[in-house]
Structure 1
Amino acid sequence: MEQEHFFQCPYCWEEISMILDSSVRQQTYIEDCEVCCNPIEITPTFEAGEIIAFEAKSIEQ
């Protein structure tokens, strides 16, 4: 099941949204910001199909 989640980009601070797959309990992947195109490490966690934790962080050191 897919659901849209809104959050703030860790680079440009714009509010963006992504479609997340709630059928996988926890996942980590890289997705580019739709505004500034910088790569963001996305880590959502789901329980019973609902998002219970979400982290979006810069992958640059």
Structure 2
Amino acid sequence: MPHLPTADIACPYCGETITLVVDDSAGDQRYVEDCHVCCRPIEVRVSVDDDGMVAVDAWGQDEA
């Protein structure tokens, strides 16, 4: 079974670097994941381009 890609992001609340495991088989997606350090909700957007490259954006729920 192939390994899922990971992405290191900085929590928009506490600033700690956390590692997200990304399920790229679902294509583009948007979801909420709690910070593993401070437990606050982080909005996550995963984009998969035509070549299969994964990009991850993350921001706090209080950001526009």
What TM-score range do you get, normalising by the shorter chain? 0.7 to 0.9
- State the identity %: 37
2:58 corresponds to 1:56? yes
CA distance in 1: counterparts of 2:19 and 2:34, whole angstroms: 11
State the match for 1:7 in structure 2: 9
Q: Which is richer in strand?
A: 1
5+ unaligned residues in a row in structure 2: which ranges? none
Give the 4+ runs in structure 1 shifted more than 2 A.
Answer: none
Matched length: 60
5+ unaligned residues in a row in structure 1: which ranges? none
Alpha-carbon offset, residue 50 of structure 1 = 1.7
Give the CA RMSD over aligned residues. 1.5
TM-score (normalised: structure 1): 0.85
Q: Which is richer in helix?
A: 2
Largest Rg, 1 or 2 = 2
CA distance in 2: counterparts of 1:58 and 1:19, whole angstroms: 18
TM-score (normalised: structure 2): 0.81
